[in-house]
Amino acid sequence: MAEATGERLQKLLANAGLGSRREIERWIQEGRITVNGRPARLGTRATREDRIEVDGRPVSDKRLSGRERYVILYNKPEGEMVTRHDPEGRSTVFDRLPRPPQGRWIAVGRLDINSAGLLLLTNDGELANRLMHPKYRIDREYAVRVQGEVTEEMVRQLVNGVTLEDGSARFEDVVESGGEGINRWFHVVIMEGRKREVRRLWEAVGARVSRLKRVRYGPIILDSAVRAGQWRELDKNERKALLAAVGMKPDRPWGTLFRPGQRFRRGKAQGTPWRRRRDKRHDEDG
């Protein structure tokens, strides 16, 4: 076992597309990974020359070698789970997506079943980890429909910070963006992705969220050409911006899932050529 000279095991396997670093660290703690026949530890280092097994199955040298990087943008509709298998048999985002030619899809953050909008997926575990890690301060923007009166004092509290059961939290920005009657739309920006954090922040000041749609993740914007249940690949400029946001170099080739003009259909999802347009209607797909 190359403890001193190899790469940290969780990073090596994340780069191979087995999962995010956080997932792989959990597998190590659960005793699911061995290196050269010995149970791995969180400090274990390894190289491609080591015999690595996950749940008793060897990880091939081909998988550990340099691979193409894939990233797609998916417009998640309400009612879908961001999980690989749901014990209740509910629809998941993975039911609608094509399989990447290498590795597997790793969801960048989560959206709960009642939330909609932009979801990034990649086969690059290191990229996924950095996009989710608080260290890199990747902001997320949501369009939120709130029922009831929202006062200036409530907005002030949301920006200055409120106390939740798992610690303090705040929005970086809160901007009203229209609505009718008791339903008002706001755009909010947050720097982290704790469970149901956007909803819980509003609840903390006595407001109720009736619709929630993620419209931006870092430099990537959900454009109206991608309707609910559809996906597209990132363009050249988006790929460059995404890597720059987390301090990664373009050290691997980008893969493509379909050629321009080609239609792909699996379940209800399809990849189609697109033109970038900013989504002006909050409730168009969400």
Catalytic residues: 112
Task: Render the burial of 124-137: b for 16+ CB within 10 Å, e for the rest.
Answer: bbbbbbbbbbeeee
Dist CA 137 CA 203 (whole Å)? 24
Dist CA 281 CA 12 (whole Å)? 42
Instruction: List, in order, residues 6 or more apart from 231 with CB less than 8 Å away.
Output: 72, 73, 74, 75, 96, 97, 269, 271
User: Is the Cβ–Cβ distance between 115 and 212 less than 8 Å?
Assistant: yes
The residue among 284, 120, 133 whose CA lies nearest residue 216 is: 120
Handedness of CA 207, 213, 217, 218 (dihedral sign): negative
Pick left, alpha or beta for residue 197 (phi over 0 → left; psi -120 to 50 → alpha; otherwise beta): alpha
Handedness of CA 47, 48, 51, 54 (dihedral sign): positive
DSSP 126-156: HHHHHHH-GGG---EEEEEEEES---HHHHH
177 vs 146, 173, 249, 282, CA distance in Å? 11, 13, 37, 9
